[in-house]
Structure 1
């Protein structure tokens, strides 16, 4: 069996986290350590990292706000955030969100040369991350799963579309771009022009892939991203960051989706921390 431990006070920075650790083949080149965090948290490393493990962050139930150097972007559930060993970075999750941090000694083949950034994770790899972060998982089976997880990662938009698209792939191409920057103001008509397809074709692809039209999907994306930012940031700043022209428009949309205002939500999360 692999090793397993849990703590209610493991943390990076100053925010307490509930953390469970699952290690398989530790101390070997082909080993893997998976840490499963639960709760609102900021996972943060300083400007100088001394560790010798590569890091992969993934959350199945929300967005992650990530920072590497001057580059800040969001990462959705169909992507993970990769950081090469010794590369300083920051990862932020929303309230009571589950975050998996996979620590590796080897670089996955498709991520060679990538220092840090969003990467695609296919459905089977995502399933296996959750599977091996449970008590009692067989060590040899976990090491086989590790190989499949590494094979299920990809750095390019083509990898992302190939991993997830069931339709033409146009909607997935747009989805990846907007997931990294939900505040991007580009309209559906402009996306269609860039992709050299009709607006009708792109809209149909969104409904096929996500079960809703583009405008509804984008609204939900922006509101999910806002939850990651609200703790410690003014509502007006968050509204602007996720693409709303005015705070009032953001407040109305947020309240419609979550049943409370952004200010009340942020206050509740601060009191719960």
Structure 2
């Protein structure tokens, strides 16, 4: 694993520290707490598995995981995934009162986080970027949809819910009923937002989420957690997508044998 550090105005209430991580295998921030700094974890290229107390959820690339200072938490990412850990002394206005949980990050804030986590970015420019980053977070579904939806917003509403719990078994027709729209309208919105059907998007989400768990949990438990009716169905889907079984994937990344896949 390697880590790059980029700090601007450190020690000041208006400062920001961005730690950029990447690892060949599982990237794990074990359970802990930071008593002086608030933290945000964001990955532009994968799903994070986050836990706060008894609450566990997944966080997709259009969201970050927020942990208020002095709140214990743990975060995991899959192999070859870049993770940005953003440390702040101030709380973004939209996150006031939130102890920990998934929050949306808009496209401009995401771009600026990546920009200031590079060599040669000036202090003055970075602190100006920090002001915009602070306004780019939102805790509610409405803010999430406002940040990201280019269509009607129905697909984004469903996407945020499923991103937190890929194992949710709700079918497309039931989502449409909950949103008081037709199935065709929701299908069209998924195609517009994601360039694929609801079923394809959900499968992709489930498999990406599974990679953050496979190195620490048995295949059967991972299959259940991400919504597959049986380990064999999960193994078949995973093998089709990644060209190897989940067990082989875990063995390759950890160098240890988890035993039989079933």
Task: Using the TM superposition, give the Cα deviation of residue 212 of structure 1 relative to its aligned residue in structure 2, in angstroms.
Answer: 0.4
Of 204, 212, 219, 2:188 maps to 204
Q: Which runs of 5+ in 1 are unaligned?
A: 1-16
- Tell me the distance in 1 between the aligned counterparts of 2:102 and 2:34: 22
1:53-102 deviation digits (Å, cap 9, x = unpaired): 00011001100000001000000000000000010000000001110000
TM-score by length of 1: 0.92
1:19-55 deviation digits (Å, cap 9, x = unpaired): 1100000110100000001113111233xx3520000
1:99-153 deviation digits (Å, cap 9, x = unpaired): 0000000000000000000000000000000000001101110001111111000
Are residues 1:165 and 2:133 paired?
A: no
CA RMSD of superposed structures (Å): 0.9
TM-score by length of 2: 0.95
Deviation above 3 Å: which 4+ runs of structure 1?
none
1:143-198 deviation digits (Å, cap 9, x = unpaired): 01111111000000000000000000000000000000000000000000000000
Task: Using the TM superposition, give the Cα deviation of residue 233 of structure 1 relative to its aligned residue in structure 2, in angstroms.
Answer: 1.0
- Tell me the distance in 1 between the aligned counterparts of 2:207 and 2:224: 12
Task: Using the TM superposition, give the Cα deviation of residue 271 of structure 1 relative to its aligned residue in structure 2, in angstroms.
Answer: 2.4
Match of 2:237?
253
Q: Which runs of 5+ in 2 are unaligned?
A: 257-262
- Tell me the distance in 2 between the aligned counterparts of 1:241 and 1:75: 14
Are residues 1:43 and 2:42 paired?
A: no
Equivalence map 1:75-114=2 (5 Å) = 75-114=59-98
- Tell me the distance in 2 between the aligned counterparts of 1:167 and 1:96: 31
Of 220, 244, 265, 2:204 maps to 220
- Tell me the distance in 1 between the aligned counterparts of 2:53 and 2:167: 20
Are residues 1:115 and 2:99 paired?
A: yes
- Tell me the distance in 1 between the aligned counterparts of 2:185 and 2:27: 40
Equivalence map 1:182-197=2 (5 Å) = 182-197=166-181
